[in-house]
Amino acid sequence: MIRLLGAVSLICGLLIVGTNLLTSARIRSNQETIMRNSVSELLPGAQKQIIYGVEPSGELKILPGLDTPGQRLFAGYDASGKLLGIVIESSARGYADLIQAMYSYSPEKQEIIGFKIVDMRDTTHPATVVKHGSKKNPWEIDAISGATISSRAVGKLIATSEQDVLPVVRKNLERIEKGE
Amino acid sequence: MSEIVSCHTSESPGITAEGNPFRNGLWKQNPVFVMVLGMCPTLAITNSVRNAVSMGFATTFVMVISYGLISMIRKLIPKQVRIATYIAILAMAVTVVDFLVKAISIPIYLALGAYIPLIVSNCLTLERAEAYAGKQPVMKSMLDGLGMGFGFTIALTMLGAVREVLGAGTFLGVHVFSKNFEPWVLFLLPPGGFISLAMWLLFFAWWKERSAKRAVIREAAPEMAIATEVNA
């Protein structure tokens, strides 16, 4: 009985590993495309993108591609080279798994100007319920409803990343504006 | 797991190994409209045709692969651990599908969300593994998986079509009504799933009753039945 269960588990494990090896390159390429499209969606009119990696010292480093792990920032510029905004990646634990999201921040207005869920496994999609309506204050979110845990995770991922990343953005803003 | 508890047993009416296994699953023993199995994805992700078809194909793939493997080793599996073995094999097939969907299309992967991993606890998949694949030869089991999977896909697509057309005014993203059409958003929400399913079930119940009545008339007086059909 134990031998059979062991053999079944071994075969299943090998099949899963094999599929992972076969599909990982394609999945990575799909995720890169989604990420680039998300940046364009969150910063409409952006003609040029520069990807910055945040180093542990709080300094920024221009990344050649999306392969480098760690905290990344996507700066979007219009045709004249003016900074339109910065897209920040963030994640927080939802009900089923990590909720990965991207939001765009405008240093000029000092407010979040866009939000998008990139990956999540929860059954209710908070991205469909984060509404942009008539705001009285620039920092207000009109409503997040639906799944309680997913909604809280969305609030948490924005709050955490604001605390961690925005000081780095402010410190290096001049450099980002010049695209250096 | 609550779904598994409420599964039919192998003695459930309508679940037999007789006849063509592919055709049975497709219509005569349709998992949604006849056996009313797999209600969780049926009601949750059928808010568009694209989601419904993707979910249907993902479930079909899981069923064909896992039933083939289960049937292959059915004589080696001790009775006490058969459910654990079926779940291990189903979980493997679901993980493979999860990777494949992510590699094929991330928007579909995001739309289906948690419902892909939940295929493993879908009443339909475990029920057929226990009632059919664990007792029948490999080819028949795979055909059963294919038939049930296609039957499931057809049912989800029918529900998805009603919900997308009425709830969004589109079919596969293409607008089907004039600009004056006000979409019934209710159909995209969970109650819309129940209403659409009830409509289809009522329609099939009415159709079955009508066919049964016609069959009785045909048996009693074949000439009169032909005359009635000609007049109709």
Answer yes or no: do B194 and B114 share one domain: no
Contacts 24+ apart (CB under 8 A), B200-206: B200/B33, B200/B155, B200/B158, B200/B159, B200/B162, B201/B33, B201/B36, B204/B33
Looking at the predicted structure, is the pLDDT value of residue B195 above 80?
yes
In this prediction the ipTM stands at 0.73
d(CA A43, CA B36): 46
Domain presence at residue B171: no
A39, A46 Cβ separation under 8 angstroms: yes
CB nearest A12 (choices: B80, B88, B110): B88
Answer yes or no: do B195 and B107 share one domain: no
Answer yes or no: do B125 and B221 share one domain: no
CB nearest B95 (choices: A16, A117, A120): A16
- pLDDT band for position A18 (50/70/90)? very high
What pLDDT, on a 0 to 100 scale, did the predictor assign at position B224?
63
Enclosing domain of residue B222: 185-231
CB nearest B44 (choices: A9, A27, A123): A123
Domain presence at residue B175: no
What pLDDT, on a 0 to 100 scale, did the predictor assign at position B142?
94
A158, A112 Cβ separation under 8 angstroms: yes
Three-state DSSP state, B200: helix
Q: Taking CA atoms, what residue in B is nearest to A24?
A: B103
| Closest CA of chain B from A90, distance in Å | 17
Q: Taking CA atoms, what residue in A is nearest to B100?
A: A23
Domain presence at residue B45: yes
Domain presence at residue B177: no
Q: State pLDDT tens for residues A54-76.
A: 888 878 888 877 777 778 888 88
Answer yes or no: do B22 and B83 share one domain: yes
Listed in order, strand segments (DSSP E) in B18-139 are none
Rounded to two decimals, the pTM is 0.73
Q: Does A50 touch chain B (CB under 8 A)?
A: no
Beta bridge partners of A102: A89, A116
| Closest CA of chain A from B202, distance in Å | 28
CB nearest A19 (choices: B91, B99, B107): B99
Domain presence at residue B179: no
B7, B37 Cβ separation under 8 angstroms: yes
Higher-pLDDT residue of A97, B192: B192
Q: Would you call B89 and A117 a contact, using CB atoms and an 8 Å cutoff?
A: no
Enclosing domain of residue A117: 2-178
B9: DSSP letter: P
Mean pLDDT, residues B109-130: 85
Answer yes or no: do B47 and B125 share one domain: yes
What pLDDT, on a 0 to 100 scale, did the predictor assign at position B86?
92
Q: Annotate A16-49 with DSSP letters as a single string.
A: HHHHHHHHHHHHHHHHHHHHHHHHHHHSTT--EE
Higher-pLDDT residue of A51, A70: A51
Answer yes or no: do B20 and B98 share one domain: yes
Structure tokens, B127: 């029920």
What pLDDT, on a 0 to 100 scale, did the predictor assign at position B159?
94
Answer yes or no: do B210 and B107 share one domain: no
Selected for mutation to probe chain B from A27, A38, A116, A120 (highest B CB count within 10 Å) is A27
Q: State pLDDT tens for residues A82-133.
A: 888 999 888 888 776 778 888 888 888 888 888 888 777 665 554 444 444 4
What total number of domains does chain B contain?
Answer: 2
Three-state DSSP state, A66: coil
Can you state the angle between helices B138-168 and B49-72, rounded to 10 degrees?
A: 170
Q: Would you call A121 and B113 a contact, using CB atoms and an 8 Å cutoff?
A: yes
| ∠ CA B92-B93-B99, rounded to 5° | 90
What total number of domains does chain A contain?
Answer: 1
Answer yes or no: do B158 and B212 share one domain: no
Q: Does A1 touch chain B (CB under 8 A)?
A: yes
Ranking A92-101, B46-55, B89-98 by mean pLDDT, the lowest is A92-101
CB nearest A30 (choices: B77, B106, B115): B106
Residue numbers in B near A96 (CB within 8 A):
114
Query: How many Cα atoms occupy the beta-carbon half-sphere of B24 within 13 Å?
Result: 17
Domain presence at residue B6: yes
**Interface A:B, Cβ pairs < 8 A:** 66
Mean pLDDT score of chain B: 85
What pLDDT, on a 0 to 100 scale, did the predictor assign at position B152?
94
Give counts: helices (H), strands (E), chain B: 10, 2
Q: Does A35 touch chain B (CB under 8 A)?
A: no
Residue numbers in B near A19 (CB within 8 A):
95-96, 99-100
